[in-house]
Amino acid sequence: MYAGTRLVGGSARLRIERSGTLTRLAKMISLVEAAQLSKPQIARRVDRIAAYFVPGILLLAIVTFIVHMRTATTGEAVGIAMAVLLTACPCALGLATPISVLIASGMALKAGIVIKDAGLLETLSRADAFLFDKSGTLTYGRPAVSGIEGDWPPEQLLRLAASLESMSAHPFAQAIVREAGVRELRPAPVERFVERPGMGVAGTVEGMRVVVGSAAWLEAYGIRRFDPIIDPMIDPMTAGKGEAAGDSVVHIGINGRRAGLIRLHEQLREDAGRTVRALSAHGEVWMATGDRERAAARIGALAGIRRVRAGLLPEQKLNLLREVRAGKGRAGKRRVVMIGDGANDSAALAAADVGIAMASGHAAALETGDIVIVGGRLSQVAEVHALAGRTMRNIRQNLLLALVYNAAMIPLAAAGLLDPRLACIGMALSSLLVVGNAVRLRRTAFGRRTGRP
């Protein structure tokens, strides 16, 4: 088990074998260092150009030498050829991309954004679809129990559910266990515990077969959806008025019968609306969730997302991702950014063109995303998107600066109008210019620092 591992099903006993620099977290740090060396596609194109550039320049230097041999001494001709080589030295060109990437990812890291693959900055800057997970991403991921209903006494329902949920790491499970703790209910021992991600938990508690989870999960145990004749008390689709109508619901089945439900209220992140608005200027914004329709609609409306898909199992989130990608994008296919918490959307995070994981509390998400937000704010997603755009612009400026310098100086040098010593200084200056332009990123890295707590 790795440091920061999140247990999704069951419980575990663990022995610590390694610590310090041998942990997964330490490996993350080295991943970031490796990322700073990874190249965006634009750099690969530059490398390809350089492959022609270098032999071309060597040839040019030789030709220059031969031409000047006719009119000047050998020493002078060598000097001129040297000047050509010196001005043509593509060090500024070579520096243009890595220096910007280094500064941008360094700035991001300081702000709590880990960019694991800097090559994706270019993809991110061109993204035209954004797919958000709901729980833990758009919401704080710390739901609270807002109601308990059913044929059984509420405390009894809560105690049985909490007994099972104490073995689960799902946010709903934690909320239920917390609520039971507040009410000073003691969880009972559980036998034959099972958990299915995106569905729920089940097990034997005090001789009773207890099933806790989504309506589909109870149905898998042969417990029907609402039947008005058998149990008119609980209709999850109509129950709950006003605020409660948009709450999430966890159903409880006992011994093959529906026994009741627990309502959970999730709170939208304070910066969710702002983030969605900022990103929708660049492409479609979607929301995917395993939660029921109503709860999804409520969060979607609050966040300002119209494209909402509810009731998705983890693998269905992956299908939605593919569907969004197949939509009409600028280059045929869309470039999709998936933003999730890594709990039940790891597959989609990994499959997205760029996966951004919110590591709110759980270091597990570190493993999943291409970019990991450890700063805890959702608006950092919009910030890193903007940073990607600014970095790419900065790289393009650098390349232009370097090319203009070379294009202007090489003819001068070839004509014998440039002293080799001046060419030397010019080369250093052009590199400095590029570095200076890249350093500007530091100041503009996160634009106006709005929304900082």
Ligand X SMILES: Nc1ncnc2c1ncn2[C@@H]1O[C@H](COP(=O)(O)OP(=O)(O)OP(=O)(O)O)[C@@H](O)[C@H]1O
* CB of 91 vs Cu ion, minimal distance in Å: 3
Q: How far is the CB of 264 from ligand X (least distance, A)?
A: 9
Q: Which is nearer to Cu ion, 91 or 237 (CB)?
A: 91
Give the C-alpha separation, 437 to 429, whole Å: 12
* Cβ nearer to ligand X, comparing 168 with 275: 168
Cα dist. 381→276, 303, 440 in Å? 10, 15, 21
Q: Binding Cu ion by CB under 5 A: which of 61, 81, 83, 89?
A: 89
5-34 as b/e, with b when 16 or more CB fall inside 10 Å?
ebeeeeeeeeeeeeeeeebbeeebeebbee
Residue nearest to ligand X (CB): 290
The single residue of 117, 133, 341, 353 carrying the catalytic annotation is 133
CB 58 to ligand X: min, Å:
58
- The residue among 325, 366, 324, 392 whose CA lies nearest residue 123 is 392
Confirm or reject binding of residue 93 to Cu ion (CB under 5 A): no
The nearer residue to ligand X, 172 or 286, going by C-beta atoms, is 172
Burial of 41 (0-12, 13-18, 19+ CB in 10 A): exposed
CB–CB of 247/146 below 8 Å? yes
Compare residues 248 and 380 and give the one whose CB is closer to ligand X: 248
CB of 263 to ligand X, least distance (A): 11
Determine if 54 is a binding residue for Cu ion (CB under 5 A): no
Using CB under 6 A as the criterion, which residues of the chain lie in contact with ligand X when the complex forms? 133-136, 165, 168, 170, 172-173, 198-201, 212-214, 248, 250, 289-291, 344
Q: Report the residue from 173, 427, 434, 438 that binds Cu ion according to the rule CB under 5 A.
A: 427
Task: Name the one residue in this structure whose structure tokens are 């993350």.
Answer: 28
Q: Which amino acid is at 190?
A: V
Query: CA 154, 158, 161, 164: dihedral to nearest 10 degrees?
Result: -150
Distance, in Å, from the CA atom of 293 to the CA atom of 119, rounded to the nearest integer, reads 37
Asked if 133 is an active-site residue, the reply is yes
- Which stretch in 81-89, 197-205, 318-326, 390-398 sits in contact with Cu ion by CB under 5 A? 81-89
Please identify, using beta-carbon distances, which residue of 100 and 248 lies nearer to ligand X. Answer: 248
Contact positions vs Cu ion (CB under 5 A): 89, 91, 427
